[in-house]
Structure 1
């Protein structure tokens, strides 16, 4: 009888610990976007958005950008002339050169922002 309680106790402990310590892994980046003109290239895995572009991810948000290029192969989002850019989170932020191009590159894998 004592052995039955021990085995059922261990089984119950294992059952609850599996649910307690399980972690949800986000497999894909959730991204919401829209623009006046959208071109998708499935072979190159790119999306080009032109005119009044709106884009939102868990880390960045922008509206009224001139152009946005999403490169799924290289895990980059290149933003041209955003009017309202909000940075919610980034592991690293850097600036290249002294140019006034107003281009922002967001690396979705590394969660980094580069101002160009």
Structure 2
């Protein structure tokens, strides 16, 4: 399955979660519910995957953790914020670069319509 197909299915499951719960809850609630839905859909997922930083020839343990990695290909960064900011996109791009991934989904659940809170990121 290619990255685009994976992201389409993830978006569908995220919309399902959002329709059931609505906006305004904690990020961790959406994360756990989406994790459940993606597992139920048959995806391989790692939640809280460590993201080391390599600098000047050494590994720096900075305790960064990716919200989820689906099928070892797509990074999910979930938010529940009033408004998505440029820093959130910059964070996703950095996570993709550091982890060697090419595709990510930045999803803000704190919106009335989830399609307004989804940003597909490709590097």
TM superposition score normalised by structure 1: 0.27
> Normalized per residue, which structure has more helix?
2
Structure possessing the higher relative contact order (Cα contacts under 8 Å, 6 or more residues apart): 2
TM superposition score normalised by structure 2: 0.26
> Normalized per residue, which structure has more strand?
1
